[in-house]
Each structure stands twice: as structure tokens, then as C-alpha cells.
């Protein structure tokens, strides 16, 4: 994303500069958010696969990873733990999606303002 | 290189943790007069500033990556300690498969864990009771999260300065082009 300066006619005020800065910050945060959302979705998928495997297995004791080791845990406890993890991931995924919505909306607002003032002298698209 | 805050700068921090702030330019002509440099020198000064900012950004990004890796590690340790504490009550042993070497795992029987050993770094390992270990790990986690927040704020400040500098470079350049065109339009009389 580039930001061109004003043409020789348009003056850039401090407020414009702050808007441009804010747009940059939001854009960076958006990219970070997209990565975080991807990771959260992958974690969710893994937990889904794990709980499916759990249903299929007929062993009573499952090796559940805690930290760096695999502890021998009863099947029921593993099921509970996986459910807890799934709930946590779901909640954080929801929060991340909400933040993404808000940021996208703010960026659209700023784009309108900045394009309105600078028209062609500024480029706010992803390269 | 003292680029004193120009007349148009709002009351922003003039520097943050050693990172000089980029002064906002209200009017290009005034800015050039203030610096007392011609256009090309100004442009190269600004480019140099941009490079310095980029260097600092690389450093901060590396620190951020380290912290972001450290936090899940501490959380894993907390997990293990709380599992041990939970098992302590029941009186049964905890069976765990752990890695002896890459690809080789062995089984351990952990009975009634009163204390754990924590790796403090620099080849030092200390034994703590489960409660103390819990407290220590939680403190470390809080500190790491706080440092990460400060770091992210620094990075945001830095990126703002980069943006301001980029915009200034573009405006000085455009102003110069405009001046040249104006000069060509009205050729100086001999």
C-alpha cells in the first residue's frame, strides 16, 4: 500500500497526515488479524479431527499432550479438555472476526475521506 | 542533524525510546528554508532517515517474534504445573511419555509432585514448590505480555514516522517538479 503525497496544489494538513498514519496502522493490524484468524481456524480444525479420532478409538487411555510431554489421560477427561479448548478457540475466533469487521469499516471510512481530498494523488490499495 | 520541530507540528512526542520523530511539514518552502538545504540534499537526508527507521523496525520485529514465541512456552509450562498440582490431590501417579531424544520417547511415572525444577536460562535450573513455580511462571507471563504491548506501541509509533517521512519525500519531490515547471514556463531573462 503506497501513499502518495499531495500534488503541488493540494496541501497536506496535520489532520490529513494523521488520517494517513491511522490508515497505515489499521492496515497493518488487519494483516496481523488475518494471520491470527487463519491460525485459529486451523487450531479449530485440528481439535475437530482430534475429537473425531477420539470417538473412533477404543482405547481407554489416551496420550494427551500437555506442554512437551504426552500424559496418559482417561478418554473422558480428554474429551472434556478438547471441548474446553474448542470453546476457548471459538470465542477468540469470534472476537478476532469482530475486530476484523470494525477495522475494515474504519478503513473504508478513511479511504472515503482521503480519496475525497486527494483523489488521484494518493493510492490506498494493496499492491 | 537537528530538524527542529517545524511550525506546523502538533504537540506529539519528539522522540520515543531513542527513535526520533519525523517532523511534520506544513509548507514545503518553509521546511526547505528552515533546513537551509537545497532540494536534493533534503531528499537524501529524508531517504537516509527512512533507512534508519527501517533498520530499527527490523530489530523491533525480531524482538516481537521472540516474545510471541516465548508466551505460548510459558503457558505450556503453567499447564504442566497445574496438571501436576491437580494429580497431587488424587494420590495416583501421572504417567507421561516424554522425548528422550529426537524420535525416541520413554515413559515416566510421576508420583506426588511436591516440587518442580524450572529452567531459568544461562544453564541454571532451580527447584521450586508447585505454588512458587506457579507464581513465578505467572509473573513471567505477565511481564512478557506487558513487554509485548510496549513493543507493539513502539512499532506503531515507528510506522507512523515512516509514513510521515514517505509523504514528506513525495511532497518535496512534487514541489521541486512544480518549481522546475514554473521556472521553465517563465524563462529567466538574460
pLDDT confidence of residue A1: 54
Inter-residue contact A103 to A29 (CB < 8 Å): yes
Probe site for chain A from B86, B95, B110 (most A CB atoms < 10 A): B95
A60, part of any domain: yes
User: Are B9 and A3 in contact (CB < 8 Å)?
Assistant: no
Closest CA to A5 of B134, B27, B182: B27
| Domain carrying residue A87 | 14-115
In angstroms, rounded to a whole number, what is the distance separating the alpha carbons of residues B78 and B84?
Answer: 10
What are the phi and psi torsion angles at B120 (to 5°)?
-95, -5
* Secondary structure class of B178 (helix, strand, coil): helix
Provide the CATH number for the domain formed by B60-88+114-166 in this structure.
Answer: 1.10.287.370
> Does the beta carbon of A11 lie under 8 angstroms from any beta carbon of chain B?
yes
Find the residue in B nearest to A123 (Cα): B167
pLDDT in tens, A11-31: 888 899 999 999 999 999 999
Inter-residue contact B88 to B129 (CB < 8 Å): no
Inter-residue contact A17 to B6 (CB < 8 Å): no
ipTM of model: 0.80
Contacts 24+ apart (CB under 8 A), B148-152: B148/B64, B148/B67, B148/B68, B148/B71, B151/B60, B151/B63, B151/B64, B151/B67, B152/B64
pLDDT in tens, B56-85: 999 999 999 999 999 999 999 999 898 888
For residues B19-39, average pLDDT: 84
> Does the beta carbon of A103 lie under 8 angstroms from any beta carbon of chain B?
no
Residues of B in contact with A70 (CB under 8 A): 96-98, 105
Q: What is the pTM of this model?
A: 0.81
The domain total for chain A is 1
A121, part of any domain: no
Domain definitions of chain B by residue range: 60-88+114-166
In angstroms, rounded to a whole number, what is the distance separating the alpha carbons of residues A12 and B6?
Answer: 14
pLDDT confidence of residue B188: 58
CATH number of residue A47's parent domain: 1.10.287.370
pLDDT confidence of residue A127: 65
- Torsional class of A3: left (φ above 0), alpha (ψ -120 to 50), beta (otherwise): beta
Closest CA to B21 of B3, B8, B44, B37: B3
Amino acid at each position: 500500500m503506497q501513499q502518495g503525497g499531495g500534488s503541488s496544489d493540494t496541501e497536506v494538513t496535520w489532520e490529513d497526515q494523521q488520517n494517513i498514519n491511522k490508515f497505515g496502522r489499521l492496515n497493518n493490524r488487519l494483516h496481523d488479524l488475518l494471520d491470527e484468524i487463519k491460525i485459529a481456524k486451523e487450531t479449530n480444525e485440528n481439535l475437530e479431527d482430534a475429537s473425531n479420532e477420539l470417538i473412533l478409538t477404543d482405547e481407554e487411555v489416551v496420550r494427551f499432550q500437555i506442554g512437551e510431554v504426552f500424559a496418559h489421560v482417561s478418554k473422558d477427561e480428554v474429551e472434556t479438555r478438547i471441548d474446553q479448548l474448542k470453546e476457548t478457540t471459538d470465542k477468540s475466533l469470534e472476537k478476532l472476526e469482530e475486530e476484523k469487521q470494525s477495522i475494515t469499516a474504519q478503513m473504508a471510512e478513511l479511504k472515503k475521506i482521503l480519496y475525497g481530498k486527494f483523489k488521484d494523488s494518493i493510492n490506498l490499495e494493496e499492491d | 542533524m537537528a530538524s527542529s520541530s517545524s511550525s506546523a507540528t502538533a504537540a506529539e512526542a519528539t522522540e520515543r525510546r531513542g527513535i526520533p520523530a519525523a517532523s511534520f511539514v506544513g509548507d514545503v518552502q518553509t521546511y526547505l528554508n528552515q533546513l537551509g538545504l537545497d532540494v536534493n540534499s533534503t531528499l537524501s537526508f529524508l531517504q537516509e532517515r527512512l533507512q534508519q527507521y527501517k533498520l530499527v523496525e527490523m530489530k523491533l520485529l525480531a524482538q516481537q517474534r521472540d516474545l510471541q514465541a516465548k508466551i505460548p512456552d510459558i503457558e505450556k509450562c503453567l499447564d504442566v504445573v497445574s496438571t501436576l498440582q491437580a494429580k497431587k490431590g488424587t494420590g495416583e501417579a501421572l504417567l507421561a511419555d516424554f522425548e528422550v531424544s529426537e524420535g525416541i520417547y520413554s515413559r515416566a511415572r510421576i508420583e506426588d509432585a511436591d516440587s518442580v525444577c524450572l529452567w531459568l536460562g544461562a544453564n541454571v535450573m532451580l527447584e521450586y514448590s508447585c505454588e512458587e513455580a506457579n507464581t513465578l511462571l505467572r509473573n513471567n507471563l505477565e511481564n512478557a505480555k506487558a513487554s509485548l504491548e510496549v513493543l507493539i506501541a513502539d512499532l506503531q509509533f515507528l510506522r507512523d514516522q515512516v509514513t510521515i517521512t514517505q509523504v514528506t519525500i513525495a511532497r518535496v519531490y512534487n514541489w521541486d517538479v512544480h518549481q522546475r515547471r514554473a521556472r521553465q514556463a517563465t524563462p529567466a531573462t538574460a
